[in-house]
Amino acid sequence: MSDILTDIRADGVATVTMNRGDVHNAFNETVIADLAEAFRRLGADPAVRLVLLRGTGKSFSAGADLSWMQRMAGYGHDENVADAMGLAVMLRTLDTCPKPTVAVVQGPAYGGGVGLVAACDIAVCADTASFALTEVRLGLIPAVISPYVVAAMGERACRRYFLTAERFSASEAHRLGLVHEVVPAAELDAAAETMVAKLMEGAPGAQGAAKDLIRAVVNHPLDDALVRDTAERIARQRASAEGREGVGAFLGKTRPGWQNR
């Protein structure tokens, strides 16, 4: 059976499932490449409205597979860079997916698993889940995942958890902003479906444009170029078919087409 499973429901909800529960969904170069391809393909599929990311078994993802790490230890510099770029590209593909992405975290997420959670737009997790950035205990650093984890948790929290490698709870992950909702384990699937329902209310094109907007304004100075860019963006959206349909439906007290699919 494949290490990565994908499924698309009739309503356009796609699920990517890491199917290596026996090794806590740890990933190697093959799993990373398969994840990247899945995110790329689903992001380009007009039938897909949003993407859920899950893991089988007790863990969401334990990060890097030990046998993969052993092989990497024998690589030279150039080989290590090429190998690390695979993970970097996969995370960027997830981060820039034009569809909303939701991590459904049923169990521990460590190392690169935290990176997967942070690269998703939204994360919901069971109250029994735990998190850790354990790289320094192995003499390594969480380099490739750092842009997403720092953006999610903030620099100050990363100064602690990157350096101590200590485990932290679901409630602490929520406090730090790594996850958005924490629910009892038995209610995780229901919480994920509630989030799906909320996302399905939005216009698909507008959601993709909103994600692109965030990337455009984060850490950008509030200069004339940014002011002009934001004005151009809303002007394009107002004039788009979605924008016209959405405003017309609101004024006419009807439902836009994307809510009836």
Same domain, 181 and 125: yes
Residue of 135, 155, 232, 242 with catalytic role: 135
Same domain, 76 and 193: yes
Q: Pick the last residue of a domain from 158, 184, 200.
A: 200
| Whole-angstrom distance, CA of residue 226 vs CA of residue 217 | 7
- Would strands 130-132 and 181-183 be described as parallel, antiparallel, or unpaired? unpaired
Q: Pick the last residue of a domain from 178, 200, 222.
A: 200
What is the residue whose two structure tokens read 């790329």?
Answer: 40
Q: Pick the last residue of a domain from 166, 182, 200.
A: 200
Whether 135 is a known active-site residue: answer yes
Domain that holds residue 41: 4-200
**What pTM, to 2 d.p., does this model score?**
0.94
Number of domains making up the chain: 2
Phi, psi for residue 156 in degrees, rounded to 5: -65, -45
- Tens digit of each residue's pLDDT, the chain (261 residues): 689 999 999 999 999 999 999 999 999 899 999 999 999 999 999 999 999 999 999 999 998 887 777 777 777 888 888 888 999 999 999 999 999 999 999 999 999 999 999 999 999 999 999 999 999 998 999 999 999 999 999 999 999 999 999 999 999 999 999 999 999 999 999 999 999 999 999 999 999 999 999 999 998 899 999 999 999 999 999 999 998 988 898 889 999 888 876
- Would strands 101-105 and 122-126 be described as parallel, antiparallel, or unpaired? parallel
Amino acid type, 145: I
CATH number for the domain including 237? 1.10.12
